[in-house]
Amino acid sequence: MEAQKDNRTELLRQIKDEVVDFKESPLYGERVANKVHPVIGEGNHYAEIMFVGEAPGKTEAETGRPFAGQAGKVLDELLASIGIPRKDVYITNVVKDRPPMNRDPLPQEIALYAGFLDRQIEIIQPKVIVLLGRHSMKYIMEKFGLEAQLTSISRMHGQIFLANASYGEIKIVPMFHPAAALYNPDLKAEMQKDFKILREMEK
């Protein structure tokens, strides 16, 4: 594990190269046809907090950056509200390519891309994984053996679940996807309340 710690940037670069060349994915053709990019992830390779969304949207695919559009602005505001710079966390998605027309990722697409996320978690070794939206919530909760506690995101948001990763105990926190605030502004206050939990964890 020590070698992994010293090699994080190189290991994450390997994942990027593999995703860029991931022709086995049915979404690869969409990427090529639309002249857009996969979105691997960005942020601190030693981050204590990792945010996991569902899949890139239009702006994300155009820029190759996670949460680069309107939902990203909401995420930036939420981070600013608790005094955590975006550069200090790591942000990624379960699915690394944009599904057509921003539809939800299909179960088979999640299964295809999930191995990349699993490796990102192992390399970065976050203490807290924040799940943004129901698809990332379902995948990560099941991955860490918490499927029995799965209900709706409206019931689970802001709760802390303990789990064991290969490198130690972690905390898993489901939250509303930032895009939800764009459609329902009333959720913003609830999201800010949930984010305060992350600030408390840092104390």
Q: Mind listing the pLDDT tens digit for each residue in 141-183? A: 999 999 999 999 999 999 999 999 999 999 999 999 999 999 9
Q: Which fold has domain 2-202?
A: Uracil-DNA Glycosylase, subunit E (3.40.470)
- Asked if 19 and 124 touch (Cβ cutoff 8 Å), the reply is no
Q: Quote the mean pLDDT of the chain.
A: 94
pLDDT surpasses 50 at 3: no
Of the pLDDT bands very low, low, confident and very high (cuts 50, 70, 90), residue 6 is low
pLDDT surpasses 50 at 188: yes
pLDDT surpasses 80 at 5: no
Instruction: Indicate the domain borders of the chain.
Output: 2-202
Q: Global pTM?
A: 0.94
C-alpha 15/C-alpha 59 separation (Å) is: 22
CA 140 to chain centre: 10
pLDDT surpasses 80 at 203: no
